[in-house]
Amino acid sequence: MEKNRKCRNAFKRNLIAVAVASCFAADLAVANPTGPTVVAGQASFQQAGTLLSITNSPSSIINWRSFSIGASEITRFIQQSAASAVLNRVTGGDL
């Protein structure tokens, strides 16, 4: 009887630990884009808190490891003109 109670208590503690850990994992899953590699043109990247600013030359191509933006985050592309374009490719498993 005592052994069953200890097992249940241990199970509850483990369940709570997993629930808390999953909350933190969810925050990590939704983050500004990560792992940029410029494969054509030029681009620079500045991270300030939850703001990611990307300044790119016209017709740039950027490969990203992941590209997700959380509700409280901002990803801003700064381009030279309205005719500028950038191709963003997600080459990792996270969209």
C-alpha neighbours within 13 Å on the C-beta side of residue 28: 5
Q: Which residues pair with 87 in a beta bridge?
A: 61
Phi, psi values for residue 40, rounded to 5°:
-155, 145
Give the domain range for residue 25: 1-30
pLDDT tens over the chain, length 95 residues: 666 666 666 655 665 655 555 554 444 556 799 999 999 999 999 999 999 999 999 999 999 999 999 999 999 999 989 989 999 999 987 66
Within its chain, how far is the Cα of 80 from the centroid? 26
Domain identity same for 47 and 24: no
Are residues 12 and 47 both part of a single domain? Answer: no
Strand partners, 37: 63
- Does 56 lie in the same domain as 72? yes
> Among candidates 67, 76, 25, 20, which has minimal Cα distance to 48?
76
